[in-house]
Amino acid sequence: MDRHGDIDTTLSDNPKRQPQDTTEKLVTPSDKPSSKPISADQPMLPFAADATHDPEDSLRNHGFANDEKHDSPSDSDAQLGDVSDVQNARPAADTSARKLTTTQAVIIFVTNEVGIGMLSLPSALNVLGFFPGLLCIVVLGALSLYTAYNLIQYWRKHPYMLNIVDYGRVLGGPWVEAIFAVGFLINMALISASALVTLTIGLNTVSEHATCTVAYTVVAAVAMWALCVPRSMRFVSWASWPCTASIIITVLLVMITLGVQGPRDINTPLNLKAIGNPNFTQAVSAFLNIAFAFAGNQAFPTVLAEMENPSRDFPRAVTIEKCITTTIYIIVASTVYALSGEQVASPAIGSLQPTMAKVAYAVSFIGLLGTGLIFGMTSARYLHVVFLRHINTLLSRKDSSRYRPSIASDPSRGRRSSVSVPPVSKKLDWGIWLFSVSLFWIVVWILANAIPVFNSLLNISSSLLLSWFTWGVTVLFWFHLNWHGKWRSSGKKLAVAGLNVFILALVLFLMVPGMYASIKTLLEIFADPNQTVNGPFTCADNSII
């Protein structure tokens, strides 16, 4: 057996001793936990320590210190994250009820991505052309799969992280964590605002604009807020089934209706384009729409932290999900474009004749609510953890008789300070959760009214932040794992380094020219006298009929 096999045996033979030993080394005698078993009444103490602590130290005697393999599925360091007590750096109470299986994770991942972004893909093919558009879908799908694998590689080396922001702390300390936090929350809010705007389009279409669009944004925001109040990820997993079914039924309805009835104006020729001839702004906007369809990666770490065995199951789950979503995108985009031609709209439901467009929007409401549920829950869980850490610190300062956190549990200290969730009363815990959910959806409501255009929301989100959180930051993770010459230690390493540099260049292209194209397109819509939506917080009818 090789040295890695020996490590796995050691860890599995004594799975709970290692984190406890690590903690004992990191706290003062007054903070030292008792020898009682960890239970619902005795939450796990923080796992990591201050800025000088290296989380690999506890395994260094087993031979991991010099391991240079971080980019191959067969790497034996994959077993590093299999230690049950290291897997989730949160209180031991109630964790068993939250573990997600591979199937549940796949459903959450699919619901994450197969949603509102798919409704813009046929129009992207109309702009870029049939073959360039499909090529972009395949390439971006493959790149999003690779960058998702970078996430699990980074988690295996630092298995106490709970969300993408914790990855930022490990990467560069509190300042990088703060940048990740702001960018993550804004991006998640923009994506949720896209779902909210799509719901208002549907409500206006079905009701023939029965009331002010701002009122519909309130209705949609309250509905999504209510779905996020149950805080269990298992609830998200079960709720994802009807949401995914809703999106699939909507897409089938769109394709079947186009095949039977044709597009809105059946007398107009389709004018299909094998290769499009767009200007720069149109091409970048279409490419950003495709990029938005693979926006789910930034929410994956939150799900990863709650899986039964992330190191083993996450690569399998994300591979299944990427194959499913890319296949669905290709089928839907090519079929809808082939049946509607130049009349294709974004969202794609707008290509249908009025009656069936109303039916399709009515069916899609559940799926759109599911999109809000996934991204809203992910954001609220992050805010919840942040508020818990800081409130626990404030309470500890006021009452010296309470559990006094060490340097390890202070969220303001150190690159690798604890990412654990401190214990608080159940009433306070729920109060913080409700505040987190409410704060997030208030911000989403404001954004949806400030940028009430579906395509513009997608493009701004894609160019400003999504490109970084889906692809860019994982490049930084890879180089962080392979620094000090490891990235050029072999031909394979150089090839993978080149791939990561290419991804980073692509991200920069999406960010700078993409943001320019997005803002220019939005201003043109506001200035167009033929558009009903002419500014923020408008009561104008944004329906597609």
Residue pLDDT, tens place only, 173-221:
889 999 999 988 888 888 888 889 889 988 998 888 889 999 999 999 9
Nearest to 217 by CA among 448, 517, 451: 448
Residue pLDDT, tens place only, 398-451:
665 444 444 334 433 444 444 455 677 888 889 999 999 999 999 999 999 988
Q: Does residue 133 contact residue 310 with C-beta atoms inside 8 Å?
A: no
Q: Any idea which of 77-81, 313-317, 332-336, 364-368 has the lowest mean pLDDT?
A: 77-81
What is the per-residue pLDDT for 61? 37
State yes or no: pLDDT of 534 exceeds 90. no
Backbone φ and ψ of 100, nearest 5°: -105, 140
Per the model's pLDDT, the better-predicted residue between 500 and 69 turns out to be: 500
Whole-number mean pLDDT of the chain? 77
Residue pLDDT, tens place only, 300-359:
888 888 898 899 999 999 999 999 999 999 999 999 999 999 888 877 888 888 899 899
Q: Any idea which of 213-217, 254-258, 275-279, 460-464 has the lowest mean pLDDT?
A: 460-464
What is the pTM for the complete model shown?
Answer: 0.70
Q: Does residue 536 contact residue 451 with C-beta atoms inside 8 Å?
A: yes
Contact partners, residue 527, CB within 8 Å, separation at least 6: none
> What is the spatial distance between Cα 9 and Cα 405, in angstroms, rounded to a whole number?
33
Per the model's pLDDT, the better-predicted residue between 119 and 152 turns out to be: 152
Contact partners, residue 452, CB within 8 Å, separation at least 6: 197, 200, 213, 533, 536, 537, 538, 542
> What is the spatial distance between Cα 224 and Cα 192, in angstroms, rounded to a whole number?
9
Share of the chain above pLDDT 90, in %: 30
Share of the chain above pLDDT 70, in %: 76
> What is the spatial distance between Cα 396 and Cα 399, in angstroms, rounded to a whole number?
5
State yes or no: pLDDT of 375 exceeds 80. yes
